[in-house]
Amino acid sequence: MTVDESGPEPVAVKLRGTPEHPFSQGELCPKVNRFLDRVYSPDRLTHPLRRVGPKGSGEFERISWDDALTEIGTRLRGIIDEHGGEALLPYSDAGNQSLLSMFGAGGRFFHHLGATQLVRALCGVTVGAGASMTNGSGASLEATEMVHSNLIVLWGTNTRLTNRHLWPTIEQARKRGARLVVIDPIRTLTADAIDESSGDRFIQPLPGTDIAMMLAMMHVIIRDDLTDAEWVADHTTGFDELRDAVADWTPARAAEVCGLDAEEIETLAADVATTPGTALRTLIGPEHHENGAMFFRTLACLPALTGAWRHRGGGYSRSVGYWTEDQIDMQALARPDLMPMLDDGTRAPRTVNMSRLGAVLTGIDVAEEAPIRAMIVWNCNPLVTVPNAELIRTGLERDDLFTVVHEQFMTDTARYADIVLPATTQIEADDIVFPWGHLWVAYNHAAVPPVGESCSNTELFRRLSTALGLTEPSLFDDDETLMRDALPTIDIDELRGERWLRAPYPEDGRPFGDPSGATPFPTPSGRVEFASDQLEALGQPRVPTFVAPTEGPSGDPDLAARFPFQLLTPKQHTRFLNSGYANLPKHGPAEGAPFVELCPDDAAAFGLADGDVARVANDRSSLEVAVRVSQRLRPGVAAIPFGWWGAHHLDGRVANSLTSDTLTDWGGGVAYSDTLVSIERTT
């Protein structure tokens, strides 16, 4: 970071990657390359605002911080006094993806008030919940270990786009002779990189059917005696139950479900079983189905069945959050002990799932006599990022809902706020960044002071604590204290000086022990569990099982008849992956505009051509978007890219106006990708 300190305030003038960083090696993704455009955007919110027009109109007046805090304090205190703390809902996610911004003082503040608690499981949590039912934890192969892999299966992850810093590792493995298999319902940028002459393959199953393919693969591996019998005997339990469960899942049966050739499944199963050092790499995309947790539970069975954990570069790989976030003491950071005691001597405020925000605000998921009456939003833009967005909009329009939004820009959600407060960006506050793609925890130094009157998330809650007249000392801890409380095993001074430190990971590259597999798995049995008593206790199948999503072609037949297309909402733009960048001129506009993508056969069948405007609809909402015809999708599948704001769409709605807010089988995730729609040309 280059900073000009010649003026009255330091100004950042240049931002580049650090070549010395052991993972990124100086490369920044396109959105971050222009991060200073975000910091100094003329549209940046730099002072508090009060709404003066109807909710959603975007009509605000400037006010002082004192006036804003006085009004917030008065309104919140009145709501709590009359309706109790549970009438207050905190709502946040990962807008500034760092420790204090995401988890800092907010937990203490809301626990102390006895507020409703938010289950933050929009992305990622279901992945670990699924895998832990097989392996006992969310631990997996660290991604750069794939340099040692001989076969890399990228399953439901568009690595070249969404995990681009990992791609050089994969290319190194390919130079050593590793083959690549890409499995995805969309022919992505990553799929375009396969080289069939070198034995690479692209497999394109129908959305939400991957588990059927995995079951058939296990059928083949067991049928053809390709298991690592010694490893299975020594380190797993429930093999006989698994064998019985997959006995009927022939490749022919799975091929019919997945829309594949049976030979594709046969070949993949044999390759996975017979190639030492096979890595099965996935990320969060596949969790966004009703059977999302079962996807990861089932995928985690494959490397155990084949003994892949024996080999360096072998196993199952996902986010490294298990290894990095294991250093965080969330109890010390959030202080749930601050919750007020209930009459029965317990501390148990209600919880709501963040993916069900529309249902929460409209009274579907909360008791009619105890609605949410105030909401504080920070670090996210739920009206764009959360499913069933039009139901959320209905909730935000309530006259009796007091809403405060802490933001950097006037987002779709902020337009419905009563008070908008200006927030800092990543370079305006000290913080610690816990990565999901590598092992290096970094200290984030503030490069410039807060722009305008903006403040950090932690400072916001210190100010709100004062505004409500709270006196609990820990609510006013400074950022240094919060860091030290949260990271008791990390030397903060060393981290600050070194800039980054590597999280602990087994030196031999094998996440589950030495070559003999002697280290027990952290399951109740100490083994990989092909059959799980824990799942049975949850009312789920003991063994891997395929259940077709309700909102899919093999689910509810009435829905499938009315809405014949499966809608996906992928992250696919080079210049912005997340909604937080779509509004910036060299990000969103540079990508064009929203569209619905169809294959040529479907476009012809519905009388659609490139550039036509189509109405995409279901029972939740409708959306008018331009048509793009491509070879990337299969018949019956449509895609509208995620991340565009309402202002970018013809009718002010967004992709998530259509998506399902049905929760996953377990883990608390949400089935975005189990969404059925109809598509017709508008007149």
Q: Return the pLDDT at 578.
A: 78
State pTM to two decimals.
0.96
Count of other CB atoms within 10 angstroms of residue 87: 22
- Find out whether 438 and 410 touch, Cβ atoms under 8 Å: no
CB 218 within 8 A of CB 246: yes
**Fold equal for 43-122+329-502 and 126-318:** no
Q: CA triplet 304, 191, 637: central angle to 5 degrees?
A: 95
Q: What does the angle CA 442 – CA 447 – CA 450 come to, to the nearest 5 degrees?
A: 115
C-alpha gyration radius of the chain: 25
Q: Quote the pLDDT of residue 527.
A: 94
d(CA 448, CA 455): 12
Q: What is the CATH number of domain 43-122+329-502?
A: 3.40.50.740
Compute the distance between CA of residue 328 and CA of residue 263 in angstroms, rounded to an integer: 46
Q: With beta carbons less than 8 A apart as the criterion, state whether 179 and 261 touch.
A: no
**Over the stretch 445-467, which tens digit does the pLDDT of each residue have?**
999 999 999 999 999 999 999 99
Q: What is the predicted pLDDT for the residue at 574?
A: 79
643: left (phi over 0), alpha (psi -120 to 50) or beta: left
Q: Domain extents for the chain? A: 43-122+329-502, 126-318, 557-681
Residues 337-365 pLDDT 10s:
888 877 777 777 899 999 999 999 999 99
Name the pairing type of β-strands 440-444 and 431-433.
antiparallel
Note the pLDDT of residue 2: 82
DSSP labels, 482-513:
HHHHH-TTS-HHHHHHHSEEEPP--TTS-TT-
Cα-to-chain-centroid distance, residue 232: 33
557-681 belongs to which CATH class? mainly beta
Does 3.40.228.10 match the CATH number of domain 126-318? Answer: yes
What's the chain's length in residues?
A: 683
Distance of alpha carbon 238 from the chain centroid: 31
State residue 514's pLDDT score: 57
Whole-angstrom CA distances from 407 to 40, 41, 43, 49, 133 are 14, 13, 12, 11, 38
pLDDT value at 516 more than 60: no
What's the pLDDT tens digit per position in 158-177? 999 988 899 999 999 999 99
SS3 83: helix
pLDDT at 627: 97
Confidence of residue 17 (pLDDT cuts 50, 70, 90): confident
Averaged pLDDT score across all residues of the chain: 93
Yes or no: say if 593 and 640 are a contact pair by the CB < 8 Å rule: no
Could you tell me the CA-to-CA distances from 341 to 108, 347, 422 in Å, in that order?
15, 5, 34
User: What whole-number distance in Å separates Cα of residue 255 and Cα of residue 244?
Assistant: 19
Between CA 638 and CA 643, with CA 642 as vertex, the angle to 5 degrees is 155
pLDDT higher for 516 or 480?
480
CA–CA dist 239, 455 (Å, integer):
55
Q: What is the SS3 assignment for 165-202?
A: HHHHHHHHHHHCCCEEEEECCCCCCCHHHCCHHHCCEE
Q: What is the pLDDT of residue 436?
A: 83
The helix/strand/coil state of 273 is: helix
Within its chain, how far is the Cα of 479 from the centroid? 26
